[in-house]
Amino acid sequence: MIRNHLILIYMKSLNNSGRIYILLFFVLSVALMTGCANAEPVKECLKGDPYGFWAGLWHGIIAPINFVISLFKDNFTLYAQNNNGGWYAFGFLIGSGGWGFFGGHSASRKWR
């Protein structure tokens, strides 16, 4: 009886370690495949004035629409390549509702 119980425990531990090996195999495979991907040239996108806070805010607001369009068209992006860095990212985050500014108090009360 004890021997059967020990065999069952050993089989369960073997099953969990097998899952870890499979997960590790897939993670390494994906890393290997993406490491061979071509880098896209973005020099044409970096011409002109960089986008700032207000453009980031606007791009964040229209992000759901841009996402759907980008699924069907290759020349659409979700995030402007030619941006000024932190201020554009901050505007994009606020515009996309990343901090929940547009949810309001009633949205959080609804789930309580």
Q: What is the pLDDT of residue 101?
A: 58
Is the pTM above the cut of 0.85? no
Would you give per-residue pLDDT tens digits along the chain (112 residues)?
566 665 556 556 655 667 778 788 888 888 887 777 666 666 766 777 888 999 999 989 998 888 888 888 887 788 888 888 899 899 998 888 876 655 555 555 555 5
Burial class (CB in 10 A: 0-12, 13-18, 19+), 51: buried
Chain mean position to CA 4: 46
Whether residue 76 contacts residue 69, with contact meaning beta carbons closer than 8 Å, is answered with yes
Q: What is the pLDDT of residue 26?
A: 86
